[in-house]
Structure 1
Amino acid sequence: MKHVALTYFLLLACMFKLHAQTKQQLDQEAIKSMCGCYEVSFNFAETFEYSGDSTYVPSDTKHDKGIEWVELVQDDADKIVMQHLLIVGSKERPYIVKHWRQDWEFENTNLYVYDHDNKWNFVTLPKEDVAGQWTQRVFQVDDSPRYEGSATWVHVDGKSYWENTTAAPLARREYTTRSDYNVLSRTNRHEIVANGWIHDQDNDKVIRQTGKEDVILAQEKGHNTYVKIADSECKAAQDYWVKNKEKWAVVRAKWDTVFARNTDLLLEEKVDNKTMFKYLLDDENYNTSETISPIIDAFVK
């Protein structure tokens, strides 16, 4: 009888393991399906404001479009890295903007959670809290940190989606024009659809001060659609990446040494009156470890 019971429990364990592997493979397929060539629409609208100030001026509604190539940089069982490359200008004279990067890591326990004023707090989560989950890490154009959070990919009723709420610095569309709040609390939803994928956002514009409760100034809706088009439409971005991928591998490797310190991270806003991306996007003067590493060190407090 004991032998039968043991066999039964071993069979259940094997079935559970098979199910877990299948689920992780579904997750990987969903994540990697965000790669490729897309026509992208970026849409943001401020929805509600809570300032109590009659002179308050909301952010303008934004509608932008572009062509974006999402390059699969790393494809491992537990880690997937994808680089976004935005194509601007005419077809005859395209210009490539190294855009944001997203890394996905399975059952990750170490996160850099944004606090405020260019500070990220190092946080360790219990293993049981991230079982079956994927951490999405989002990076700036210079591969410095932006935001990250952990959640479970959901595959149900023909849908695949991942949703998480986490703090982030102000978006570029905002920090050049707004100084009345300093944290964007982002609820990000990535959903895979028949013709591509959707990045849906419900964001809180937050005033955060040390030792005080957060104050929500306003809220916004973001709805970015990625509609798949022929890969040939993104050839200029593909060519850019072939030419520049080794440089950006050096940048990522340097950042990895910074993140491996596993301690809170504080970054300078500017060094010698220049932001980091103005240094690192200069492909002519900053393209080796000898030129890249000192720049990143100069920004890390």
Structure 2
Amino acid sequence: MKKTYRSLAAGLLLLSAALPVAALAHPPIAADAAAANFEQDRADILAMAGNYRVSFNMQESTRWDPNYEVLEPKRSGGNEVVRVIEDTGRKIVLQHMLVITGDDDKSMIIKHWRQDWEYEPARVLVYSDRNTWTWEDVPEKMRTGRWSQTVYQVDDSPRYAGWGQYETQGGVRRWRSNWTWRPLARRDAVRNPVYDRYLSINRHQPSPDGWVHWQDNTKMGIKDGKLVPIVQEYVLNTYIKYDQYDVKAADDYWAATKGYWAAVRAEWDRVAATKGGIAIQEEAQTGTVISGRLLDMANEIQDKTLTTAKAIEEAKKLIETNTRKL
């Protein structure tokens, strides 16, 4: 029996030694390796742009709180257009737009989430507590060759951010974030659950048909003044290339409103830079208390009932007056 155990242990040691280093740890990336991978990284990020049929699959799995009742899996989906709205080389910005076709065959556009990718960032804007996003330094030795992804809500206020590297393991290409905090998604926030935030790892992977977005969420709640895990959730969002819907409606919306949204993004950036981050009241349905008005003004611009200049003026006032200094 002892001989069997020794043989098994020796085999496991040999297996561990044969594994690539990246499978065991994520050390700093050498400058020459980073330079060699830069263009492939960019190509993988840019490849997320396109026209898609997307499915959203969410499933709570393991409960960490014995008194918690696990939710039934949730499935939804739709048609989504993703456009590159900025590319400076070291920064790529992707805007998502949902296209919904009504019973009258008319298309309605919902400005969806936005993702900003930045190469070798010094800091990222992270969710740190209720209603609060603060700047967090990326460890200096971990910047080389890595990209941050910052995800924004429908009104361009921040949602969550993380950093990581693109790598290939087992023949599969992927980017994986560090552990990050994020506020509740609308599907949870509207239910007023016992948890109030997620601790998550985020993964993006290109596929022959499009790309996939994995999320591993530990739903956390406060008990006796301490954050504790409540339940684990796994989210898989699958983007399949598809254009048999009114793609033009999304492009028309963006053509009419892109100047307005550029000014909104700039104002959020200004506030984050001058106030030490973003502090604004969250709202379950739309993300922030000003989100509804910011989105309505974009629709009014497209309908030509409000000028872009007037909308920008009101948006700046809303963002300034509803945020506080940290």
Answer whether TM exceeds 0.5 for this pair.
yes
1:94 to 95, 104, 107: 107
Deviations 1:71-94 (A, max 9, x none): 100012110000000011248201
Q: Does 1:105 align with 2:127?
A: no
Q: Does 1:72 align with 2:84?
A: yes
Which residue pairs with 1:199 in the alignment?
A: 213
Which residue pairs with 2:94 in the alignment?
A: 82
1:57 to 63, 69, 87: 69
Q: Which runs of 5+ in 1 are unaligned?
A: 1-15
Aligned-pair identity in percent equals 36
Counterparts in 2 of 1:263 and 1:172: CA distance versus 1, 3 Å: same
The whole-number CA distance in structure 2 between the counterparts of 1:292 and 1:35 is 27
Which residue pairs with 2:315 in the alignment?
A: 292
- 1:156 deviation in Å? 4.7
Counterparts in 2 of 1:204 and 1:19: CA distance versus 1, 3 Å: closer
The whole-number CA distance in structure 2 between the counterparts of 1:237 and 1:83 is 11
Contact 2:107-2:246 at 8 Å conserved across structures: no
Counterparts in 2 of 1:170 and 1:145: CA distance versus 1, 3 Å: same
Contact 1:183-1:206 at 8 Å conserved across structures: yes
Deviations 1:127-146 (A, max 9, x none): 22211100000000000010
Contact 2:60-2:72 at 8 Å conserved across structures: yes
Q: Does 1:257 align with 2:280?
A: no
Q: Which runs of 5+ in 2 are unaligned?
A: 1-29, 301-305
Amino acid at match of 2:204: H
TM-score normalised by L of structure 2:
0.80
Counterparts in 2 of 1:286 and 1:199: CA distance versus 1, 3 Å: farther
Which residue pairs with 1:10 in the alignment?
A: none
Deviations 1:145-203 (A, max 9, x none): 10001101113554221111211000111100133111111211100010100011111
Amino acid at match of 1:73: I
The whole-number CA distance in structure 1 between the counterparts of 2:307 and 2:142 is 40
Corresponding residue pairs, total: 280
The whole-number CA distance in structure 1 between the counterparts of 2:235 and 2:80 is 18
2:238 to 202, 217, 225: 225
**CA RMSD of the aligned region, Å?**
2.2
Q: How does 1:1-301 map to 2 (within 5 A)?
A: 20-53=34-67, 56-90=68-102, 92-164=105-177, 165-208=179-222, 213-230=226-243, 233-261=246-274, 263-269=276-282, 275-282=289-296, 283=298, 284=300, 287=308, 288-301=311-324
Amino acid at match of 1:289: I
Q: Aligned with 2:65: secondary structure?
A: coil
The whole-number CA distance in structure 1 between the counterparts of 2:251 and 2:55 is 20
Deviations 1:252-278 (A, max 9, x none): 1111101222724321236xxx82211
Contact 1:107-1:134 at 8 Å conserved across structures: yes
The whole-number CA distance in structure 2 between the counterparts of 1:219 and 1:81 is 30
TM-score normalised by L of structure 1:
0.86
Contact 2:55-2:238 at 8 Å conserved across structures: yes
The whole-number CA distance in structure 2 between the counterparts of 1:250 and 1:129 is 32
The whole-number CA distance in structure 2 between the counterparts of 1:133 and 1:103 is 14
Q: Aligned with 1:246: secondary structure?
A: helix
Q: Which moved more, 1:36-45 or 1:125-134?
A: 125-134
Q: Which moved more, 1:118-127 or 1:282-291?
A: 282-291
The whole-number CA distance in structure 2 between the counterparts of 1:120 and 1:39 is 32
